[in-house]
Amino acid sequence: MRVIEVNDYYELSQKAAEMIIDQVRKKPDSVLGLATGETVLETYAAIVNDYQQNQTSYRHIRTFNLDEYIGLAADHPNSYHYYMNEHLFRFIDIPMSQTYIPNGLADDIPEECIRYEKLIGQCGGIDLQILGIGRNGHIGFNEPGTSFDSTTHVVELAHSTRKANSRFFSSLEEVPTHAITMGIATIMKSRQIILLASGERKAHIMSQLLEGEVTPNIPASILKTHPNVTIIADKEALSLIGKEQRKVYVQ
């Protein structure tokens, strides 16, 4: 695991976009794993900007999103379907039929999880997975305590996660209680992973991640055992890292 330290959120977004665009140019039929949330927003904006300036093509790219709320329709403004269309897909030339997001309205949700996991395999697995990190160390919606062996599954969202995400809803009660998420084993099968962390609100979890052990209590800690993980984090997110850990990880 290597950590690229950047000055601020702007630089983080530029660097992340650059790495994703590089992957797309090198392998135009790449399978990308995508995240939602606030952190990745400007990365998508930078990808859109590059598309408009340089016409990088996504015609043969396939994408798999990490997660989706259960119970929200694709056109609900807080669904991750809506988020992805709104911030990325509608601006680039990716055919919508090549963008995959779990269906949180499926009649048979356990079956939907199995289908989604299989589909990732049938597409050859994920070449590059983008991750944000929750303040409790969650990746996707894999909350603390999730088995490292988990594949795509249903989760009950932690109160802290619902509270954090309630900023996008009109009230906490409106935040769905459950979601479908790729599992930790699903994420770990990706050939390359980039995790993004920005701002002071991620400083505590970043120090726990970099200084602590690999434990299901911090789902992101499993990334330390993956052969190709890059963390892009800004100075604020790395502000609580001790000198020794800095020497080990930070470039």
Ligand X SMILES: O=P(O)(O)OC[C@H]1O[C@](O)(CO)[C@@H](O)[C@@H]1O
Binding site for ligand X (CB under 6 A): 35-39, 132-134, 141, 161, 165
Q: Beta strand 99-100 with 128-131: parallel, antiparallel or unpaired?
A: unpaired
Beta carbon nearer to ligand X, 3 or 34: 34
Q: Which is nearer to ligand X, 39 or 56 (CB)?
A: 39
Output the smallest distance, CB 161 to ligand X, in A.
5
In the bound state with ligand X, the residue whose beta carbon lies nearer, of 113 and 131, is: 131
Tell which residue, 42, 45, 53, 9, has the closest CA to residue 202: 9
The least CB distance from residue 62 to ligand X, in Å, is 20
H or E element that contains 212: none
CB of residue 86 vs ligand X: minimum separation in angstroms? 15
**CA 135 and chain centroid, separation:** 14
Q: Show the tokens assigned to 90.
A: 């509608």
Q: Do the beta carbons of residue 66 and residue 150 sit within 8 Å?
A: no
CB of 220 to ligand X, least distance (A): 10
Q: Give the active site residues.
A: 67, 136, 138, 143
Beta carbon nearer to ligand X, 56 or 221? 221
- When CB distances to ligand X are compared, the closest residue is 132
DSSP state of 220: G
Under 8 Å CB-to-CB from 135, ≥6 apart: which residues?
160, 164, 201, 202, 204, 205
Q: Where are the alpha helices (DSSP H) in the chain?
A: 9-26, 41-54, 80-87, 109-122, 159-165, 184-188, 203-211, 243-249
